[in-house]
């Protein structure tokens, strides 16, 4: 029987070494409370995806992500206002994002950047918000997680003008080999999602094959961008295992070695091993 398009892909066999899903949206995947998060992370862990970073795109999502990161030790958060939601970005919004960004289990400022594909927010508003988030990342000392859609040159221009934070992560990297080289040369980290597994994405796959393992992350961006051969079906953090295996084959790497390297990069970039609960004695964490 052919699976229905709305069904999740099967949970794959566990990876030989665990890997971190560096960018997901647990709330958009359907998680509402601690029980939902635990169930989703149990499913991910059964595939070898042992930790995730759940990422905000608006203020309500930022509040939820920061709180969800205290429900389960396998969950961390990133907070920002998505570039497509910056048409109205008030001082009160900024104050709230800054407050959330300082919480211990919030490990990055993101996703922020520029999106020239959708027209929900004027470019001027996006640029102003992006520059503000860059400054915030530097002030709180946390990585900047970038959303870049059809805006490669301007992303680099703004980072150069503002001065990039110590650590910059290109979420769902979408560039070609030349753009990957420009980013790697600057010390940026490239995070690859399901599209890198698509067989019609030759320029992106070439970029992934080039990227050094210590500047490479794997993500799902779930519930979006489900990897091959399940494109179009609902995505979840466990599907990072499919992407990791496909990347290993593409690069000619051993799966266990690449998984270990990617997790090591995530640990270093987001300082995951140093993160503690913001609740007394770890109360509330799995």
Give 57-73 pLDDT, tens digit per residue: 999 999 999 999 999 99
CB 75 within 8 A of CB 266: no
Note the pLDDT of residue 4.
54
Q: Is 23 annotated as a binding residue?
A: yes
Note the pLDDT of residue 248.
98
Q: Is 25 annotated as a binding residue?
A: yes
Domain at 19-273: CATH architecture:
Alpha-Beta Barrel (3.20)
For the chain, give the percent of residues with pLDDT over 90: 93
Q: Is 133 annotated as a binding residue?
A: no
Note the pLDDT of residue 201.
97
Confidence grade of residue 278 (pLDDT, cut at 50, 70, 90): low
* Average pLDDT of the segment spanning 158-176: 98
For the chain, give the percent of residues with pLDDT over 70: 94
Find the angle CA(74)-CA(79)-CA(81) to the nearest 5 degrees.
Answer: 150
* Average pLDDT of the segment spanning 105-128: 97
Give the distance, in angstroms, between the CA of residue 33 and the centroid of all CA atoms in the same chain: 21
Note the pLDDT of residue 286.
57
Report the chain's mean pLDDT, rounded to a whole number. 95
Q: Is 115 annotated as a binding residue?
A: no
Note the pLDDT of residue 212.
98
Dihedral angle computed from the Cα positions of residues 174, 82, 112 and 104, in that order, rounded to the nearest 10 degrees? -120
The residue whose two tokens read 């407050």 is 99
Q: Is 221 annotated as a binding residue?
A: yes
Contacts of 39 (CB under 8 A, 6+ apart): none
Confidence grade of residue 5 (pLDDT, cut at 50, 70, 90): low
* Average pLDDT of the segment spanning 169-191: 98
Residue 193 has pLDDT above 90, yes or no: yes
**Three-class DSSP labels, the chain:** CCCCCCCCCCCCCCCCCCEEEEEECCCCCCCCCHHHHHHHHHHHHHCCEEEEEEECCCHHHHHHHHHHCCCCCCEEEEECCCHHHCCCCCHHHHHHHHHHHCCCCEEEEEEEEEECCCCCCCHHHHHHHHHHHHHHHHHHCCCEEEEEECCHHHHHHHHHHHCCCCCEEECCCCCCHHHHHHHHHCCCEEEECHHHHCCCCHHHHHHHHHCCHHHEEECCCCCCCCCCCCCCCCCCHHHHHHHHHHHHHHHCCCHHHHHHHHHHHHHHHHCHHHCCCCCHHHCCCC
Residue 283 has pLDDT above 80, yes or no: no
CB 136 within 8 A of CB 167: no
Who has greater pLDDT, 102 or 3? Answer: 102
Note the pLDDT of residue 275.
86
Residue 40 has pLDDT above 80, yes or no: yes
Q: Is 171 annotated as a binding residue?
A: yes
Confidence grade of residue 6 (pLDDT, cut at 50, 70, 90): confident
Give 240-263 pLDDT, tens digit per residue: 999 999 999 999 999 999 999 999
């Amino acid at each position: 029987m052919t699976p229905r398009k709305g069904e999740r892909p099967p949970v794959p066999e566990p990876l030989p070494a665990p890997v971190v899903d560096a960018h997901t949206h647990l709330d958009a995947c359907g998680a509402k409370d601690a029980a939902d998060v635990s169930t989703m992370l149990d499913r991910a862990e059964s595939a070898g995806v042992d930790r995730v970073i759940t990422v905000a795109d608006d203020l309500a999502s930022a509040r939820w992500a920061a709180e969800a990161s205290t429900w389960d030790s396998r969950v961390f958060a990133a907070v920002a206002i998505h570039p497509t939601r910056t048409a109205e970005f008030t001082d009160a919004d900024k104050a709230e994002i800054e407050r959330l960004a300082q919480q211990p289990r919030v490990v990055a400022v993101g996703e922020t950047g520029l999106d020239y594909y959708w027209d929900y927010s004027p470019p001027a508003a996006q640029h102003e918000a992006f520059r503000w988030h860059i400054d915030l990342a530097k002030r709180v000392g946390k990585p900047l997680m970038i959303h870049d859609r059809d805006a490669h040159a301007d992303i680099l221009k703004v980072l150069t003008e503002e001065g990039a934070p110590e650590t910059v992560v290109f979420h769902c990297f979408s560039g070609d080999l030349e753009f990957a080289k420009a980013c790697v040369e600057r010390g940026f980290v490239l995070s690859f999602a399901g599209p890198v597994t698509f067989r019609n994405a030759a320029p992106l796959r070439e970029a992934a094959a080039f990227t050094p393992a210590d500047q490479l992350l794997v993500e799902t961006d779930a519930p979006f961008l489900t990897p091959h051969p399940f494109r179009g079906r609902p995505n979840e953090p466990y599907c990072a295992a499919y992407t990791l295996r496909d990347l290993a084959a593409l690069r000619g790497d051993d799966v266990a070695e690449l998984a270990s390297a990617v997790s090591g990069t995530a640990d270093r970039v987001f300082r995951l091993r140093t993160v503690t609960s913001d609740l007394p004695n770890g109360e509330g964490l799995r």
